[in-house]
Amino acid sequence: MDSPPDAWPGTSKGGGAMFPQANDSSSEQLYRLVVENSTDVIWTARFDDFPCPASGMNRADAIAWSREAAQHWRFTFISPAVEHVLGYHVEDAMRFGLKDLLTPESYAEAVLILADELVGEIKPGDGPNRRLVQLEVLTRQGLARWCEISVAFLRDGAGRVASVVGATRDVSERKAAEDALRASEATLRSLVANIPDLVLVVDRRATILFANRDVPGATAEQLVGNTGFGFLRLDCREAAGRALGEVFAKRAAARVEVVDIFDLWWECRLVPILDAESPPRAMIICTDITERKRAEEAVRKEQEHLRHLLDALERDREAIALDLHDRIAQQLAGALMMLEGAAGLAAGWREETREAYFSGMRIVRESIADSRRLVSGLCPPVLDEFGVLPAIEHLLEWNRRENGPEVTLLAADDFPRLARPLENALFRIAQELLANLRRHSQATRASLELCCDAGLVRLAVCDNGVGFHAGEDETGHFGLREIRQRVRLLGGRVQIETAPGQGVRVCVEMPLVGCI
């Protein structure tokens, strides 16, 4: 390639030097070798036949001159790397003006950069003023490519710009990565700013370094610099401190629920910020769960109220059973004894009188049996004395006497005693399911399973009866609704599997609230 006609990149006519001055041919050969083998495009340029004014112009005049001067831009040297970076042959690139190689936006920016060189005083002997800029350069294919350009303005003895020396590097991939990173950061900032959760960044001492939004009683700016624990109720600060300590100690996420001084509930997810170049920090994402907590409290109070009602119902059952046993049943038994004692007199009675007499005795006997059944159903003594398994065995025996289907009991002989509310619930559920079995199922066989497993007690009744549509279990079967309510109060669940002609399987699971 021919040497540049006006200046080699290391020197300029009448101005400062970009490289040390070449005093012999070996130095010039060394500089040429470096320039021609550089992966950056090394170039020099001047303003052809357009006199440059001295420095110290005002900005308006400098911009006006720069617009004219840019049209007289002429390259005096371009290194071979231009073909690799931009796709041009050196000879073609040398013929281009500045406007041919830059996008309109970058061309306008280049004009302003040149104008900046003319504003302010430059003293004779000052070295070249170097700048590092990023401009969009057009490739041979007409594509815009971001390039980083290191440019130096070389001046003559009078301080006027005589030529320009530059190095152009393709940074399009880096620029794209930076733009993508900025876009990602902008997206994240937008998300953090607009999510309903409160997002805090804190240090080890819980000092707030960042808050994404205001809270009741304080703006986001007022939160910064304060300790996050200061906004918590006293009884919650210890738990919050432990959670934050675990985050920094284990470098793992943690979760804690707290109440602030305004009686608002927050679910806090604490996450360590893993950045080796910054002091230890943690991000706390706080979700307002006040309404959920209030709803849970309302449900808890309702369940507590219903438990009291069930307890009262059980006490009423016991009182009624006691009255039946101690008064009505005893009175009926006494009446039967008197009637039986007078049976010897019946020989002299008329036939109609004897039949009425013995019919009355039969009714009294049946009433005594009915009262015993009522007492057993209302408050079976076996449940209180021996527990739920013997009580269910008693129910199955009663089911056989009432001509119900054969029911196989599946339960361990050493089934434990449970807390009284749980035993009462299991007994009433089994009682209702066996009653449904006799009245509605038309089954010929069934099974009843009772077991404890993994902190749960399970009661399941399965039959081979007529079944029903699963959607009818809530609306058409009052007993099943009552079972669901009992189980829900004890924190359990009911699963019903059925279909017409496929029988029914009802499975009840409840947490073990206590064993004896």
Architecture of domain 380-516: 2-Layer Sandwich (3.30)
Token pair, residue 252, equals: 């793992």
What's residue 460's pLDDT? 95
Top mean pLDDT of 100-109, 157-166, 302-311, 399-408 is at: 100-109
Q: Is the pLDDT of residue 109 over 90?
A: yes
Domains 195-288 and 380-516 share a fold: no
Which DSSP letter does residue 19 get? Answer: S
The secondary structure of residue 464, as a DSSP letter, is -
Q: 221 exposed, middle or buried (CB, 10 Å; 0-12, 13-18, 19+)?
A: exposed
Measured distance CA(224)–CA(229) in Å, rounded: 13
Q: Which of 82-96, 196-210, 304-318 has the lowest mean pLDDT?
A: 304-318
| 415 SS3 class | coil
Average pLDDT, integer, range 376-388: 77
pLDDT at residue 515 tops 60: no
What average pLDDT does this structure show over 488-514?
87
Phi-psi region of 41 (alpha: psi -120 to 50; beta: other; left: phi over 0): beta
d(CA 407, CA 306): 32
Enumerate the H helices of 324-350 as residue ranges: 329-341
What are the structural domain ranges in the chain?
A: 25-171, 195-288, 304-379, 380-516
**What is the mean predicted confidence (pLDDT) over 17-26?**
50
- Is pLDDT above 70 for 106? yes
SS3 233: coil
Q: 430 burial class (0-12, 13-18, 19+ CB within 10 angstroms)?
A: buried
Between these two residues, 416 and 313, which has the higher pLDDT value? Answer: 416
Q: What is the mean pLDDT of residues 312-339?
A: 72
pLDDT at position 138 over 60 = yes
Say which range, 196-200, 325-329, 410-414, has the weakest mean pLDDT. 325-329
- Whether the pLDDT of residue 475 is over 90: the answer is no
Asked whether residue 145 carries a pLDDT value surpassing 70, the answer given is yes
Return the DSSP state at 57: B
Which amino acid, residue 16?
G
Q: What pLDDT sits at residue 15? A: 35
At 133, list the tokens: 């800029």
What's the pLDDT tens digit per position in 424-452?
Answer: 889 989 988 998 898 888 899 999 999 99
pLDDT for residue 12:
37
Tell me the average pLDDT across 327-333.
Answer: 74
Per-chain mean pLDDT for the chain: 83
pLDDT bucket at 135, cuts 50 / 70 / 90 = very high
Residue 376 has pLDDT above 80, yes or no: no
Per-residue pLDDT tens over the stretch 228-255: 888 899 999 999 999 999 999 999 999 9
Contact 367, 336 (CB under 8 A): no
Fold topology of 25-171 = Beta-Lactamase (3.30.450)
Please state the rounded mean pLDDT for residues 191-201. 83
pLDDT at 38: 86
Tell me what percent of the residues of the chain surpass a pLDDT of 70.
86
Segment among 118-127, 197-206, 407-416, 481-490 with least mean pLDDT: 118-127
Parallel/antiparallel/unpaired status of strands 144-155 and 161-170: antiparallel
Residue 10, pLDDT above cutoff 50: no
The average pLDDT across 95-102 equals 92
Q: What pLDDT shows up at residue 471?
A: 64
Mean pLDDT of 163-177: 91
Which pLDDT band, with edges at 50, 70 and 90, does 132 fall under? very high
Check whether 473 has a pLDDT greater than 60.
no
Checking if the pLDDT of 209 tops 90, the result is: yes
| pLDDT tens-digit series, residues 451-466 | 998 889 999 999 999 9
- B/e letters for 331-363, b = 16+ CB within 10 Å, e = fewer, are ebeeebeebeeeeeeeeeeeeeeeeeeeeebee
What's the predicted TM-score (pTM) here? Answer: 0.46
Average pLDDT of the segment spanning 104-131: 79
CATH 2.40.10.340 fits 195-288, yes or no: no
Nearest Cα residue to 423 out of 516, 312, 505, 485: 516
**Residue 120 falls in which region: left (phi positive, over 0), alpha (psi -120 to 50) or beta:** left
Asked whether residue 386 carries a pLDDT value surpassing 60, the answer given is yes
β-pairing, 41-47 vs 161-170, is antiparallel
Structure tokens at 113: 């950069």
pLDDT at site 322:
67
- Two tokens, residue 273: 């910020």
Residue linked to tokens 């679910």: 267
Backbone angles phi, psi at 5, to 5 degrees: -75, -25
Confidence of residue 478 (pLDDT cuts 50, 70, 90): low
